[in-house]
Amino acid sequence: MKKIILADSQAIFRAGTAKVLSMDEDLRVIAQCTDVERLMHAITSFPGSVVLFAGSLKPDLTRLKVLLDAAGSRAVVIAENNEATGGYLQMGVRGVVFRSVTGPLLLDCIHRVAAGETAVPPQAQAADSSEDDVVGARVRDRLTPKEMRIVALIVQGCKNREIAQRLKTTEQVIKNYLRSIYDKTGVSDRLELALFTIHHRVLAQAAAEVGNKLEAEERAAAQAAAQAASHRSVVAPPAVA
């Protein structure tokens, strides 16, 4: 039984990856980490593991290498699509997969690293295939702006209630939109939707852009509300004793 430490701040992707790993009887996820400090602690606590971590966590690679060597563990990085991976390899990371990796390729990489091999795909494989790009672009173009906002929030791990609050609507409206989104993407639930989005580079980029725009709008609205409240407190007449 090979022990796996899984570290990724993206809850949806982490859940999907854990689900893929659990289907292999020779693998056991013994720790899931959401940040770097938890990752470092898990490496120390569970020696002899394969450490699957997201590059987006941006760990101190020197410290990571020291802990891995001391624990007799090996690391596989989940790199962002098209991310350069030379720095990871120079610091002793034994395997590389990209966000767009398929389940079988992920399992193959982990088994090879666990066996002492190095598993690094050609850089050309960092991007999705042209066929996947076509699929991602087709779905992106079919989704309405409101549906794309919902997809962006789903990828961030938001539940229906939070999505409704952030988009200033009701949970029932969000559920109605999700049914339409599932039909357009060919998925059956929010986890499959998030993984479908992450695995199609064009769609993932569009969702990220929409998510960033939504957050910017929310920050601007919060600042405007704070300024309005401050202005009201300044001009308010003094209380009568």
Per-residue model confidence as pLDDT tens digits over 7-47: 998 888 888 888 889 889 999 999 999 999 999 999 999 99
Residue 212 vs residues 13, 129, 160, 205: alpha-carbon distances, Å = 18, 26, 19, 11
pTM over 0.75: no
Tokens of 189: 């639930």
Please provide the DSSP assignment of 175-216 as one string. HHHHHHHHHHHT-SSHHHHHHHHHHSHHHHHHHHHHHHHHHH
- Which domains, from first to last, does the chain contain? 2-126 (3.40.50.2300), 130-234 (1.10.10.10)
Is-contact 16 54, C-beta < 8 A?
Answer: no
User: Percent helix, strand, coil in the chain (nearest 5)?
Assistant: 60, 10, 25
pLDDT tens string 156-212: 888 999 999 999 999 999 999 999 999 999 999 888 888 888 778 788 888 888 988
pLDDT value at residue 103: 84
Is-contact 96 85, C-beta < 8 A?
Answer: yes
* Alpha carbons 165 and 146: distance in angstroms, whole number: 14
Strands of the 27-33 sheet, one edge to the other: 27-33, 2-7, 50-54, 74-79, 95-98
pLDDT value at residue 239: 60
pLDDT tens string 6-18: 999 888 888 888 8
pLDDT value at residue 200: 80
Nearest to 139 by CA among 196, 98, 214: 196
pLDDT tens string 78-121: 988 767 788 888 888 999 998 878 888 899 999 999 999 999 87
pLDDT value at residue 182: 95
